Structure 1
Amino acid sequence: MRVKKIVLAVALIAAVGAQTGTALAEPDTVRIRDLGTLPGGTSSSVGAINDDGVIVGSADVGDRKSHATRWDRSGRITDLGTLAGYESSYATRINNRGVIVGYAATSREEHVRAVRWDRFGRLTELKPLPGDADSKPFGLNADGEVVGISGGGRGYRAVRWNRDGAVTELEGLGGDSWASAINDDGVVAGYSRRANELVSHVIRWAADGRSTDLTPNAEYSGRAEDINDAGTVVGVASPNAMRWDSDGKSTNLGEGQTATQINNRGTIIGYASAYPYRAGMWNSRGEYKALPGLPGEGDFLTAFGINDRDVIVGGSGLRAVRWDRDGRATDLGTLPGGSSSRALIINNAGVIAGDAYDTVSGGYHAVVWR
Structure 2
Amino acid sequence: MRNSRVVGGAAVLVAAALVGGVPVSASAAGSPAAVNAAGALGDAWGINDSGVIVGYAGSKTGGIWDDTARPVRWDPDGTAKDLGTLPEHKWGWADAINNKGTIVGISGYLTDNQIHGNAVKWNADGTITKLAAPPDETYGEARAINDAGVIVGRANGTDGDDWGDKGVKWDADGTRTALTKPAGAGVVYGEDINSSGAIVGIYQKFDHSVHAVRWTPAGIPVPLGTVPGEVDSYAIGINDKGIAVGYTYDDKTYRAVRWNEAGIATVLKGLPDAHSTAKAINADGTIVGSSGGHAVQWAPDGTMTKLRKLSDDAGHAANGINADGVIAGRSTNTKVHPTRWAKDGTPTHLPAIPQPAEH
Instruction: Return the TM-score normalized by structure 2.
Output: 0.70
Q: Counterpart of 1:97 in structure 2: which amino acid?
A: K
**1:122-149 Cα shifts (integer Å, max 9, x gaps):** 3344463345555432343324454546
CA displacement at 1:356 relative to structure 2: 0.4
Matched, 1:303 2:301: no
When structure 1 is superposed on structure 2, of 177-186 and 130-139 the one drifting more is 177-186
Contact 1:101 1:114 in 2 (8 A): yes
Aligned AA (2:101): G
Conserved 8 A contact 2:45-2:53? yes
Is the strand fraction higher in 1 or 2?
1
Aligned to 1:292: 269
Alignment-derived partner of residue 59 in structure 1 = 57
**Superposition pairs for residues 318-329 of structure 1, below 5 Å?**
318-329=293-304
Q: Deviations over 1:67-96 (max 9, x none)?
A: 111100111111223333222121122121
User: For the structure 1 residues 182 and 324, does the alpha-carbon distance in structure 2 shift closer, same or farther, using more than 3 Å as the test?
Assistant: farther
Cα separation, 1, equivalents of 2:265 and 2:221 = 19
User: What do the CA deviations read for 1:137-182 (whole angstroms, capped 9, x no partner)?
Assistant: 234332445454665xxxx245xxxxxxxxxxxx4x5333523456
Counterpart Cα distance in 1 of 2:284 and 2:177 = 23
Cα offset, 1:5, TM superposition: 4.2
Residues 1:187 and 1:306: Cα distance change in structure 2 (over 3 Å): farther
Q: Is the 8 A contact 2:224 2:264 kept in 1?
A: no
**Deviation digits for residues 26-50 of structure 1, max 9, x if unmatched?**
xxxxxxxxxxxx7222312113111
One-letter amino acid of the counterpart of residue 299, structure 2: D
Secondary structure of the residue aligned to 1:52 is coil
What is the DSSP-based 3-state SS (H/G/I as helix, E as strand, rest coil) of the residue aligned with 1:47? strand
Aligned 8 A contact 1:183 1:227 in 2: no
Distance 1:187 1:292 in 2: 41
Alignment of 1:202-351 (within 5 A): 203=180, 215=182, 218-221=183-186, 223-225=188-190, 226-236=192-202, 238=205, 240-243=211-214, 245-246=216-217, 248=220, 250=222, 252-254=224-226, 256=231, 257-274=233-250, 275-294=252-271, 298-351=273-326
**Number of positions where the alignment pairs a residue of Structure 1 with one of Structure 2:** 293
Cα–Cα, structure 1 residues 87 and 340, in superposed 2: closer, same or farther, change >3 Å?
A: same
The gaps in structure 2 that reach 5 residues or longer are 5-34, 343-359
Is 1:101 paired with 2:104?
yes
- Whichever residue aligns with residue 264 of structure 2, its letter is E
Matched residue, 1:11: none
Q: Which amino acid aligns with 1:41?
A: A
Paired with 1:233 and 1:266, the residues of 2 have a C-alpha distance of: 9
Q: 1:140 corresponds to which residue? A: 145
TM-score (normalised: structure 1): 0.68
Q: Matches of 1:315 and 1:259 in 2, distance apart?
A: 15
Distance 1:348 1:182, change over 3 A: farther
Q: Deviations over 1:213-235 (max 9, x none)?
A: 6x3xx235463544434444444
Letter of the aligned partner of 2:294 in structure 1? R
- Residue 121 (structure 2) pairs with residue 116 (structure 1): yes
Amino acid at match of 2:134: L
Q: Deviations over 1:282-331 (max 9, x none)?
A: 22233332111246xx4121111111211100111121101010011111
Distance 1:231 1:253 in 2: 20
> Which residue of structure 2 lines up, in the alignment, with residue 352 of structure 1?
327
1:77 matches 2:80 = yes
Q: Distance in 1 between matches of 2:271 and 2:59?
A: 35
Q: Which amino acid in the other structure matches residue 40 of structure 1?
A: A
- CA-to-partner distance for each residue in 1:256-283, whole Å, 9 max, x for gaps? 3333332211212122221443221122
RMSD between superposed Cα atoms in Å: 3.3
Which residue of the other structure, out of 119, 131, 134, is the alignment partner of 1:129? 134
Deviating more after overlay: 232-241 vs 61-70: 232-241
Instruction: State whether residues 149 and 157 of structure 1, in contact with CA within 8 Å, keep that contact through their aligned partners in structure 2.
Output: no
Deviation track 1:195-254 (CA, whole Å, cap 9, x = no partner) reads xxxxxxxx1xxxxxxxxx6x3xx2354635444344444445555544454574846502
The structural deviation recorded for 1:365 is 0.8
Between the two proteins, what is the percent identity of the paired residues? 32
Shift in alpha-carbon separation, 1:117–1:338, aligned structure 2, 3 A: same
Q: Distance in 1 between matches of 2:77 and 2:164?
A: 43
User: Aligned with 2:72: secondary structure?
Assistant: strand
Of residues 90, 93, 100, the one that matches 1:90 is 93
CA contact (8 A) 1:139 1:181 kept: no
Preserved CA contact (<8 Å) 1:190 1:224: no
In structure 1, runs of 5+ residues without a counterpart are 7-37, 159-170, 192-202, 204-212
